[in-house]
């Protein structure tokens, strides 16, 4: 029996198990056995572990990854690539499917003699390319329309922002100014999804945050509404282009400094600047962190991930290699296809260039999404929902009674 190898690397997402499910379903149909390597690239090293997996073991509605994951970087391990190739070949693997983000996928080209079709995943949505420049966005030319896992995390950002299910209720009830922090590294995709939860303002890393401008906006909006919700990406930068808040001492195996916590910094700054003027100390940072990545996938994410898993196996079965299974948009639908791995831009050191949020999707003046941005999200999140609000009260002063 022929064999397919699979691993999941980098941060977990809600769409990993459905991707693996799709791989197993198609593999069984085409008579392949699936070998799952445990804990990402660590699984293919001499100290690694693996297991035979079958479709009925995998619940596609369960978040995380049955195969576990890690941020192991083969290039940083003495003889890492050689061990990986040797072990993959020793298990008689005919085709290999690494599921990962930019770092995990950057490794693939280094595995000489291993035929691979990669599948992306990351809540950051930063693997792929944007539609070509121009006034009109041709959505059908986006390569890897979204990275599996992003759809669920984006839905959660929208939900956590909203009055229907999120922080807007406490912002209204307590007259709060809330700074809700999204993950996403140096890409603003996830922060932008807060538009679907009707955030007042959004801060993305693609546009520098000018504090005076934000203060002015918050001042005006609070005087008008007595509540403000600012959604901000963890990788937000200042006018000098530097990330506002990162942990210098905490670096992962891929060399990224740990982000997270910038909302606290901005909340404190706004409090210092505006507490007196606005007569409130309710400047609150909310940092859901791993809650963005946890739990069950959305139906859109689950179904697309299953389709991508199947597509990767089909490609391998047809003898393809050096490819990436990805989503493209056809009209209002997303379909699973694949492209040559070389289609993606790379840096000089061979690593992939992370995809930034498309500048046409964000209005930096108003700090909000554009119509083109809403159109981008439609196949992922559906139509923009109405903002729910409590009934407006006709309040009168006691002293006027
Ligand atoms: O890359 C995915 C991501 O969730 C980022 O958005 C976030 O900055 C990072 O991973 C967190 O890394 P870790 O899982 O190592 O804490």
In which element (H, E) is residue 278 found? helix 262-278
Residue 249 lies inside a defined structural domain of this protein: yes
| Distance in angstroms (rounded) separating the CA atoms of residues 329 and 190 | 19
Q: Is residue 398 in some structural domain?
A: no
| Ligand 1 atom at minimum distance from 101 CA | 1
Same domain, 125 and 17: yes
% pLDDT > 70, the chain: 100
Same domain, 321 and 338: yes
Mean pLDDT of the region 31-53: 97
Q: Measured between alpha carbons, how far is 312 from 320 in angstroms, rounded to an integer?
A: 9
Q: Is 287 in the same domain as 165?
A: yes
305 in the same domain as 284: no
Query: What distance in angstroms lies between residue 113's CA and the mean position of ligand 1's atoms?
Result: 31
| 31 is a domain residue | yes
Would 273 be classed as within a structural domain? yes
For 281, the domain range is 156-292+359-381
Atom of ligand 1 nearest to the CA of 126: 1
What pLDDT is stored for residue 103 in this prediction? 79
In angstroms, the CA 343 to CA 55 distance is 31
d(CA 300, CA 193): 15
Please tell me the distance from the alpha carbon of residue 387 to that of residue 307, in angstroms, as a whole number.
Answer: 33
Q: Which residues line ligand 1 (CB under 6 A)?
A: 11, 101, 122-124, 183-185, 234, 252, 259, 293
Which of 9, 14, 124, 288 should be mutated for ligand 1, with most atoms under 8 A from CB? 124
> Nearest C-alpha to atom 12 of ligand 1 is from which residue?
11
Asked whether residue 316 falls in the same domain as residue 373, the answer is no
Q: How many domains does the chain have?
A: 2
- Rounded to two decimals, what is the model's pTM? 0.96
Return the ligand 1 atom nearest residue 184 CA.
6
Q: What is the mean pLDDT of residues 197-209?
A: 98
Please tell me the distance from the alpha carbon of residue 106 to that of residue 133, in angstroms, as a whole number. Answer: 25
**Ligand 1 midpoint to CA 11 (Å):** 6
On average, the pLDDT of the chain sits at 96
Q: Is the pLDDT of residue 256 over 80?
A: no
- Ligand 1 atom 8: the closest Cα is on which residue? 185
Q: Clarify whether residues 210 and 271 are in a common domain.
A: yes
In whole angstroms, give the CA distance from residue 49 to residue 212: 53
On whether both 20 and 71 belong to a single domain, the answer is: yes
Whether 121 is covered by a domain: the verdict is yes
Burial class, 320, CB count within 10 angstroms (exposed 0-12 / middle 13-18 / buried 19+):
middle
More confident site: 148 or 103: 148
Query: Is the model's pLDDT at 249 over the cut of 90?
Result: no
Structure tokens at 329: 């948009």
pLDDT greater than 90 at residue 178: yes
Tell me which of 291 and 341 has the higher pLDDT. Answer: 291
Active-site residues, by number, are 124
- Is 80 exceeded by the pLDDT of residue 248? no
Residues 198 and 83 in one domain: no
377 and 259 in a common domain: yes
* pLDDT at position 398: 95
Asked whether residue 53 is assigned to any structural domain, the reply reads yes
- Which of the listed residues 148, 152, 183, 261 should we mutate to test ligand 1's pocket, taking the one with most ligand atoms within 8 A of CB? 183
183 & 272 share domain? yes
In a domain, 400, yes or no: no
Expressed in angstroms and rounded, the spacing between residue 12 Cα and the centre of ligand 1 is: 9
pLDDT(33) > 90: yes
Residue 322 and residue 94 in contact, taking contact as beta carbons nearer than 8 Å:
no
Within 8 A by CB and 6+ apart from 136, the residues are none
Based on the fold, state whether residues 273 and 260 are members of the same structural domain. Answer: yes
Ligand 1 center from residue 260 Cα (angstroms): 9
- CA angle at residue 209 from 280 to 151, to 5 degrees? 95
Longest Cα separation, the chain: 86
pLDDT at 87: 97
Pocket test for ligand 1, best of 13, 182, 185 (most atoms within 8 A of CB): 185
- Nearest-CA residue for atom 13 of ligand 1: 11
330 alpha carbon – ligand 1 mean position (Å): 31
**122 Cα to the center of ligand 1, angstroms:** 9
- Per residue in 347-373, pLDDT (tens digit) is 988 888 999 999 999 999 999 999 999
For residue 8, the number of C-alpha atoms closer than 13 Å in the C-beta half-sphere is 24
Please report, for residues 171, 265, 266, 306, 383, the alpha-carbon distance to residue 211 in angstroms, rounded to integers and kept in the order given: 21, 11, 9, 43, 32
- pLDDT tens digit string along 309-343? 999 999 999 999 999 999 999 999 999 999 998 89
Instruction: Answer whether residue 146 is part of any domain.
Output: no
The CATH number linked to 202 is 3.40.50.460
Ligand 1 atom nearest 235 alpha carbon: 8
At 1 the pLDDT is: 78
């Amino acid at each position: 029996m022929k064999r397919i190898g699979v691993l999941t690397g980098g941060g977990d997402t809600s769409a990993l198990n459905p991707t693996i499910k799709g791989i197993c379903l198609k593999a069984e149909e085409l008579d392949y056995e699936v070998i799952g390597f445990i804990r990402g690239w660590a699984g293919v090293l001499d100290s690694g572990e693996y297991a035979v997996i079958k479709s009925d073991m995998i619940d596609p509605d369960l978040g995380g990854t049955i195969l576990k994951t890690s941020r192991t970087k083969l290039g940083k391990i003495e003889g890492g690539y050689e061990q990986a190739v040797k072990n993959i070949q020793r298990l008689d693997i005919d085709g290999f499917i690494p599921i990962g983000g930019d770092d995990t996928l950057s490794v693939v080209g280094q595995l000489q003699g291993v035929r691979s079709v990669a599948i992306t995943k990351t809540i950051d949505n930063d693997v792929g390319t944007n539609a070509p420049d121009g006034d009109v966005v041709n959505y059908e030319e986006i390569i890897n329309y979204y990275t599996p896992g992003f759809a669920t995390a984006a839905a959660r950002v929208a939900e956590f922002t909203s009055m229907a299910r999120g922080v807007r209720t406490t912002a209204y009830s307590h007259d709060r100014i809330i700074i809700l922090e999204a993950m996403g590294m140096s890409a603003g995709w996830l922060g932008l999804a807060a538009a679907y939860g009707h955030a007042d303002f959004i801060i993305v890393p693609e546009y520098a945050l000018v504090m005076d401008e934000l203060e002015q906006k918050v001042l005006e909006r609070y005087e008008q509404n007595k509540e403000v919700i600012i959604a901000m990406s963890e990788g937000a930068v200042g006018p000098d282009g530097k990330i506002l808040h990162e942990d210098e001492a905490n670096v992962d195996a891929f060399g990224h400094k740990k982000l997270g916590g910038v909302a606290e910094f901005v909340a404190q700054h706004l409090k210092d600047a505006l507490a007196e003027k606005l007569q409130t100390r309710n400047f609150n940072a909310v940092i859901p962190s791993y809650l963005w990545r946890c739990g069950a996938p959305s139906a859109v994410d689950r179904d697309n991930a299953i389709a991508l898993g199947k597509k990767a196996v089909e490609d391998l079965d047809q003898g393809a290699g050096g490819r990436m299974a990805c989503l493209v948009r056809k009209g209002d639908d997303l379909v699973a296809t694949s492209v040559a791995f070389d289609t993606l831009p790379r840096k000089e050191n061979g690593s992939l260039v992370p995809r930034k949020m498309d500048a046409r999707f964000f209005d930096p003046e108003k700090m909000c999404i554009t119509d083109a941005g809403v159109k981008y999200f439609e196949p992922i999140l559906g139509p923009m929902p109405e903002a729910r609000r409590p009934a407006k009260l006709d309040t009168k002063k006691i002293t006027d009674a």
